[in-house]
Amino acid sequence: MAEVTVLAATGNQMVAEAFRQAAPDVVSAYPITPQTAIVENYAKYVADGRVHTEFVPVESEHSALSSCIGASAAGARVATATSSQGLALMYEELHIASGMRLPIVMANANRAISAPINIHGDHSDVMGARDSGWIILFAETAQEAYDNSLIAFRVAEHPQVQLPVLTTLDGFITTHAMERCELLDDTTVADYVGQRQPCHPLLNGPAVGHGMFASLGGTYFEVKKAQRQAIDGAAGPIAAVGKRWAEVCGRSFESIDAFMCEDADYVMVVLGSAAGNARVVARELRAQGIKAGVARVRLYRPFPAEQLVETLKNAKAIAILDRSDSFGAQYGPVGLDTRTALYQCKRHIPTHNYIYGLGGADVTLQALHQVFTELRALAQGNLDQGLSYLGTR
């Protein structure tokens, strides 16, 4: 039986603990609000001898991920963390890491992208990385940030995956809020995560090359096709790794966290920390006889289209909440993904997309009540299937 330590901790603290227990060979990072406490705590673990990691402080986030790429290609287990403009500065390296099939684990404290300057939480940063070939997980709570981080190492290093994983937690809401959390003992976690077995390391193996030039387009095209097949095929290994985690700690891992959706007439699709308030409103409406439900997407890439459609199949109307926008597109990122999934599965359920909470704007119960009220109008044909900004003047 695993030993459990109950503690009050923030999301940043729990990610740092997860990294310590996974014992990466190399951590390279640069501080940025609201992620800084993750690498600060980790640096203390290294200094105190609690983990034997080569901690590499660098001059920028671009250099941080560059260092991680080199270390991972050499065969090391590697982790890092960033946020907002830091993730944006890594953009070049995001594609290099995934294109080279390097199992790097990175925590992102979701934060608004400038301009104007804003240090508070939304999903503008991580949505800029959604097409970079990384597996992406969203945490609702500090506990889930811990769980996702440990799951990420096994997923990234799975022989059928071999892709980088981005685990995310909402800036200041999840990163800094203190919660009751459960920490498993180091031995149990070490057994769960295991040791990295690199497939084609630059060190200690046959001579190989990484990041080679692909002439014209044929070789490059084939590599990108294989990359697409790998991330599409990752859903099975992710489910298996998540099931094993549930056996270890008793907390389930599902790509979609469905709350009272089985018979719901009106369902809200949401990512991250806003799901708690959404469930509060759904409970209040249930007490009034209104069948409301909440579908929280935990695994965002690869997008769990079939599971989400199965969750939504009985709904009369669906609200899709996006904490970022996709300027120039018809809907926000989750709106586009959800509507595509419904269309592919021939589910013609009316939807409305809401952009909310940008720059850390409050997600109030009143605003979420408004969404469910509008869903009833949508089901009756009295609201268009478009996009609205929620909570603005």
pLDDT score for 140: 98
Fold of the domain built from segment(s) 256-389: Rossmann fold (3.40.50)
Does position 88 have pLDDT exceeding 80, yes or no? yes
Question: Does residue 37 contact residue 216 with C-beta atoms inside 8 Å?
Answer: no
Q: Is the pTM higher than 0.85?
A: yes
**Ordered alpha helix ranges (H), 140-232:** 142-156, 186-193, 218-232
Q: pLDDT, tens digit, for every residue of 315-327?
A: 999 999 999 999 9
Question: Hey, where are the domains in the chain?
Answer: 4-249, 256-389
Side chain identity, residue 367 = A
Q: Do domains 4-249 and 256-389 have the same CATH topology?
A: yes
299 band by pLDDT with thresholds 50, 70 and 90: very high
Sheet holding 351-355, edge to edge: 256-259, 292-297, 266-270, 317-322, 351-355, 387-389
Handedness of CA 136, 137, 142, 144 (dihedral sign): negative
Question: Does residue 210 contact residue 202 with C-beta atoms inside 8 Å?
Answer: yes
Does position 216 have pLDDT exceeding 80, yes or no? no
Say whether domain 4-249 belongs to CATH 3.40.50.300. no
Residues sharing a CB contact under 8 Å with residue 287, sequence separation 6 or more, in sequence order: none
* DSSP helix, strand, coil percent of the chain (3-state; round to 5): 40, 20, 40
Does position 215 have pLDDT exceeding 80, yes or no? no
What number is the average pLDDT over the span 330-356? 97
